[in-house]
Chain A
Amino acid sequence: MTAVAEIMDYDEVLRRFDPVLGLEVHVELSTATKMFCGCANEFGAEPNSRVCPVCLGMPGALPVVNGTAVESAVRIGLALDCQVAEWCRFARKNYFYPDMPKNFQTSQYDEPIVFDGGLDVVLDDGEVFRVGIERAHMEEDTGKSLHVGGATGRIHGAEHSLLDYNRAGVPLIEIVTKPITGAGERAPEVARAYVTALRDLLRSMGVSDVRMDQGSLRCDANVSLSPKGSGEFGTRTETKNVNSFRSIERAVRFEMRRQASLLVNGSEIIQETRHFDESSGETSSGRRKEEAEDYRYFPEPDLVPIAPSREWVERLRGTLPEMPWERRKRVQEQWGLSDEELRDLVNASALDLVAATVDAGAPPSEARSWWVAYLSQRANERGVELAELSVTPAQVARVIELVAEGKLTHKLARQVVDGVLDDRGDPDEVVAADGIEVVSDDSSLQAAVDEALAAQPDAAEKIRGGKVQAAGAIVGAVMKATQGQADAKRVRELVLAACGQQ
């Protein structure tokens, strides 16, 4: 075990080694039914209520392939610039583990349905990094285990386990990258950006819920180090089921540092699976990686081969929606964004939200400002994703509309949005409940203006002398006195009028 104190400094790692990554992403398809049976594919149902003889692996039960799942697999392959196999088969991956009641997983082995593609990944600074795609194949998910006894609900130390097979047989696509080399110090960032780009792509295609928190998108990160300039790949480890974008970056970075520390001490890297701990940010040893032949793969005799005709493939290509990179380009042109503005928008994961706000009638610049600035800040404070905030694009659009109508000042608008975020209803409800309104009737404002002018005779004198820019200080004082509820434009007019400038 390497203690954190001994672990190598990241810069030192990079001076000595080149990182090589391989990322395996499992995506649960959002089909109505499972991969090989008609059971509902549904997250969060009562345990063992979405099962049948096929997904429970009962003797004599026979699988039939879900055609929609195959279509999704082909479409994903096309979106990832892959070749589609002319002919391929399913294979049995044999192992004994209670999460798979058949004692084998129906998967694909050396004949994946799609192969040899790539995905352009946009890094934080806007640079594009091409990640090669080795293959994507179809398989089925396993059941869910609940480990009882022991400390943390983990399998280690558990006294027994409880199995729910609702997830067993849910269609999975496993997407495997080619070895990612040449990323250097940006390897952890590339890993995160790749999975993010894949998530965005799959979401735009509507083939999966792509929720990392619910496990419908899962990432295993293979990491190895190559001594600088040697061109030789080192022994790799596979960190399993890293379940947030940030964790992927942290896990890769930690593994690079851990492996480097071992290598410079003359120790060997053990080829094994590792577990990432969210709280410590470290990985720990899991099981030794089984050799591929130990799974004794063989062609699935109960399922006939799949031979996608070229006509079918082209028809599916025609169903692909606008790809995220095409959309970014279009949005940039339509909304007149600079590269930097677009980057901020994408990095804040605000593109969909801003687009929806614009669709709800708001001007792009204001919609963007709300999501990228104020709401991003609020999301940060609450430790949630922007999309998880309890304010909808339609509600933001309504607030923007109220400001445009002069019914809210910017300050009041933020107050209203805070009310919506606190689940106090729609903007109009918050406005009504809190009696929020812009004070613009002259009788209420005039007294505040007179008071402010009296309190700042110097500024008043300047304005009377023609220096109208001094009015700002008076307007500010009035806004403060009215707690931001005054109509600033009207206040300014009243100030100028009182000083004989209008």
Chain B
Amino acid sequence: MSTISRDEVAHLAGLARLAVSEEELNTFAGQLDVILDAVARVGEVAADDIPPTSHAVPVTNVFRTDEVRDGLSREQALAGAPATEENRFRVPRILNEEA
């Protein structure tokens, strides 16, 4: 039983900025199906009184005091940037379409 379509895989790949070939779409659709089925089985056994787990450790309320700490110097921050201009990170055109 296929629950995830090739189109959905292509859509997800697009959102994740992953280049996926036509062939891979079939492969991943099949593999994701298996994964989804496996996860769905968890839902069959989990009772309503068991909350979904997102964190493995039972810890809450970890807070930092609101005190300024030194970060990076501007030179350090910009050191890894492919391009800079006016002390800012320079990035290519964001929107492709013309207004």
Q: Are A160 and B91 in contact (CB under 8 A)?
A: yes
The interface bits of chain A over 33-70 (1 if a CB of B lies within 8 angstroms of the residue's CB, else 0) are: 10001111000001111111101100000001111111
Q: Are B55 and A51 in contact (CB under 8 A)?
A: no
In the assembled complex, the CB of A309 is this many whole angstroms from the nearest CB of chain B, namely 8
Q: Are A98 and B66 in contact (CB under 8 A)?
A: no
The interface bits of chain B over 57-99 (1 if a CB of A lies within 8 angstroms of the residue's CB, else 0) are: 1011111111111111110011000000111111111110111
Interface: A154 (CB within 8 A): yes
Residues of B near A266 (CB, < 8 A) are none
Q: Are B68 and A70 in contact (CB under 8 A)?
A: no
Stretch among A162-170, A338-346, A367-375 lining the B interface: A162-170
Interface: B2 (CB within 8 A): no
Interface: B15 (CB within 8 A): yes
The interface bits of chain A over 66-110 (1 if a CB of B lies within 8 angstroms of the residue's CB, else 0) are: 111110000000000000000101000010111000000000000
In the assembled complex, the CB of A93 is this many whole angstroms from the nearest CB of chain B, namely 12
Residues of A near B78 (CB, < 8 A) are 48
Interface: A294 (CB within 8 A): yes
From B99, which residue of chain A is reached at the shortest CB distance? Answer: A156
Residues of B near A65 (CB, < 8 A) are 62-64
A31–B62 CA distance with the chains assembled, in angstroms: 17
Q: Which of A140-189 contact B (CB under 8 A)?
A: 145-148, 150, 154-165
The interface bits of chain A over 294-315 (1 if a CB of B lies within 8 angstroms of the residue's CB, else 0) are: 1010010101111110000000
Residue of B61, B71, B87, B91 near A37 (CB, 8 A) is: B71
Residue of B57, B60, B91, B98 near A98 (CB, 8 A) is: B91
In the assembled complex, the CB of A299 is this many whole angstroms from the nearest CB of chain B, namely 4
A48–B95 CA distance with the chains assembled, in angstroms: 23
Residues of A near B66 (CB, < 8 A) are 31-33, 66-69
In the assembled complex, the CB of B83 is this many whole angstroms from the nearest CB of chain A, namely 8
A308–B69 CA distance with the chains assembled, in angstroms: 26
A51–B95 CA distance with the chains assembled, in angstroms: 26
A47–B86 CA distance with the chains assembled, in angstroms: 8
Interface: B41 (CB within 8 A): no
In the assembled complex, the CB of B86 is this many whole angstroms from the nearest CB of chain A, namely 6
Residue of B70, B87, B93 near A161 (CB, 8 A) is: B93
State which size class the interface on B falls in: 35 or more
Residues of A near B59 (CB, < 8 A) are 304
Q: Which of B5-19 contact A (CB under 8 A)?
A: 12, 15, 17
Q: Are B72 and A56 in contact (CB under 8 A)?
A: yes
Residues of B near A49 (CB, < 8 A) are 73-74
Q: Are A52 and B72 in contact (CB under 8 A)?
A: yes
Interface: B54 (CB within 8 A): yes
In the assembled complex, the CB of A257 is this many whole angstroms from the nearest CB of chain B, namely 23
Residues of B near A68 (CB, < 8 A) are 65-66
With A51-B72, A294-B15, A307-B60 as contacts: A162 and B65 at CB distance below 8 Å: no
Residues of B near A299 (CB, < 8 A) are 54-55
A457–B17 CA distance with the chains assembled, in angstroms: 95
Q: Are A67 and B89 in contact (CB under 8 A)?
A: no
Residue of B12, B54, B63 near A70 (CB, 8 A) is: B63
A366–B61 CA distance with the chains assembled, in angstroms: 51
Residue of A38, A163, A165 near B69 (CB, 8 A) is: A38
A47–B88 CA distance with the chains assembled, in angstroms: 6
Residues of A near B92 (CB, < 8 A) are 160
With A50-B71, A161-B94 as contacts: A38 and B88 at CB distance below 8 Å: no
Residue of A48, A155, A301, A304 near B94 (CB, 8 A) is: A155
A327–B70 CA distance with the chains assembled, in angstroms: 40
A47–B69 CA distance with the chains assembled, in angstroms: 18
With A66-B63, A305-B60 as contacts: A98 and B94 at CB distance below 8 Å: yes
From A146, which residue of chain B is reached at the shortest CB distance? Answer: B88
A46–B86 CA distance with the chains assembled, in angstroms: 10
Q: Are A305 and B55 in contact (CB under 8 A)?
A: yes
User: Which residue among A145, A148, A156, A161 has the maximum number of chain B CB atoms within 10 Å of its CB?
Assistant: A161
From A307, which residue of chain B is reached at the shortest CB distance? Answer: B60
A159–B90 CA distance with the chains assembled, in angstroms: 11
With A48-B89, A161-B94 as contacts: A33 and B69 at CB distance below 8 Å: yes
Residues of B near A69 (CB, < 8 A) are 66
From A290, which residue of chain B is reached at the shortest CB distance? Answer: B15
Q: Are B74 and A48 in contact (CB under 8 A)?
A: yes
Q: Are B71 and A39 in contact (CB under 8 A)?
A: yes
Residues of B near A66 (CB, < 8 A) are 63-64, 66
Residue of B77, B90, B91 near A56 (CB, 8 A) is: B77
Give 20 pairs: A residue, B residue, CB < 8 Å, sorted on A: A32-B67, A38-B69, A38-B70, A38-B71, A48-B89, A49-B74, A51-B72, A52-B71, A53-B72, A94-B15, A98-B94, A155-B94, A160-B91, A161-B90, A161-B91, A162-B90, A165-B89, A303-B62, A304-B60, A307-B61
Q: Residues on B close to A: CB < 8 A?
A: 12, 15, 17, 54-55, 57, 59-74, 77-78, 85-95, 97-99
Q: Which 6 A-B pairs have the closest CB atoms?
A: A156-B99, A38-B69, A52-B71, A67-B63, A162-B88, A68-B66
Known contacts A31-B66, A55-B71, A67-B65; can you find 14 more A-B pairs with CB under 8 A?
A: A32-B66, A33-B68, A38-B67, A47-B87, A48-B77, A64-B62, A64-B64, A146-B86, A154-B99, A156-B99, A163-B88, A163-B90, A164-B88, A304-B60
